[in-house]
């Protein structure tokens, strides 16, 4: 199983500018019309559904927040994006900056090393390049969504088959981040809050699902835009047939097409299952 696509709904006039924008970064059209990274088979891709009528407006109460692109040098990558602010070290979380694509969706440039890890960064950048884009061998590092009840969400994603790789409290700003992935790997430190795990996490070749929990949001409801509005439509999991059969028995499972079904996570995130 793997995170296959982040599916975003847009108005028809945004489709061409979005495809142009992401292909300039190195994405390419794959089977089924989705954008993929040709050099990174374990990385998630992007799909755009051009059937919305109302433009996107972000809010902290949205279920969806952003995607993250894991790059070896944020400062070099940011120079490829007109008007992008330089990166900076955000506490002990990571070296990063944010940008908005032509539809106004936020994405993060997250460096695979912390600001002070110059030797490791130099080594990573010296490896033979396989990526075709101006930002090098990046992958989609994260899809970031929000949750309101951590214990409930952590139990759901573990039962789905994902592994919790990192817990990152950001007490200063009142939230905690949880990173899940479909992997057999274990982080270097058993303590999932260990800062030492974080650069390792950002260097994974696969995409993680990043869950952001604002402290005190328990009992509240996060917003998923209706079909007429731009915004998140679904997160696609690519699953083998036996996994689809197992998950089809879960409460709330809906068959959309033969070999395609859908579940909702505890906060209403549509999770589309494709064989």
- Nearest Cα neighbor of 237 from 200, 209, 204, 215 is 209
State pLDDT tens for residues 203-218.
999 999 999 999 999 9
Say which CATH number the domain at 184 has: 3.10.180.10
The pLDDT tens digits of the residues spanning 80-111 come to: 999 999 999 999 999 999 999 999 999 999 99
CA distances for 132 relative to 3, 24, 36, 97, 140, angstroms: 22, 9, 12, 22, 15
Q: Which domain holds residue 208?
A: 62-214
Percent of the chain with pLDDT over 70: 100
In a domain, 139, yes or no: yes
Segment 41-68, tens digit of pLDDT: 999 999 999 999 999 888 889 999 999 9
Residues 133, 37: Cα–Cα separation, whole Å: 9
pLDDT over 80 (residue 197)? yes
Angstrom distance (rounded) from CA 96 to CA 203: 14
In this structure, is residue 144 part of a structural domain? yes
What's the structural domain count of the chain? 1
SS3 73: coil
Residue 227 lies in a domain: no
């Amino acid at each position: 199983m793997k995170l296959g696509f982040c599916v975003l709904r847009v108005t028809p006039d945004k489709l061409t500018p979005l495809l142009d924008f992401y292909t300039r970064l190195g994405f390419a059209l794959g089977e089924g019309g989705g954008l993929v990274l040709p050099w990174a088979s374990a990385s998630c891709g992007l799909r755009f559904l051009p059937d919305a009528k109302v433009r996107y407006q972000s809010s902290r109460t949205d279920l969806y927040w952003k995607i993250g692109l894991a790059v070896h040098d944020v400062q070099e990558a940011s120079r490829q994006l007109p008007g992008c602010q330089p990166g900076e070290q955000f506490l002990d979380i990571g070296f990063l900056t944010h940008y908005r694509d032509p539809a106004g969706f936020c994405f993060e440039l997250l460096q695979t090393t912390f600001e002070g890890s110059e030797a490791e960064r130099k080594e990573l950048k010296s490896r033979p390049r396989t990526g075709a884009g101006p930002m090098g061998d990046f992958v989609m590092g994260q899809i970031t969504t929000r949750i309101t009840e951590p214990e409930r969400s952590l139990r759901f994603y573990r039962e789905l088959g994902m592994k919790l790789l990192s817990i990152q409290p950001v007490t200063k700003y009142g939230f905690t981040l949880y990173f899940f992935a479909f992997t057999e790997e274990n982080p270097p430190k058993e303590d999932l809050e260990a800062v030492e795990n974080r650069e390792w996490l950002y260097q994974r070749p696969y995409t993680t699902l990043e869950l952001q929990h604002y402290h005190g949001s328990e009992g509240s409801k996060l917003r998923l835009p209706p079909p007429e509005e731009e915004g998140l439509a679904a997160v696609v999991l690519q699953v083998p047939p036996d996994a689809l059969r197992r998950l089809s028995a879960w409460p709330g499972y809906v068959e959309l097409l033969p070999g395609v079904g859908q579940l909702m996570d505890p906060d209403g995130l549509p999770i589309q299952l494709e064989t």
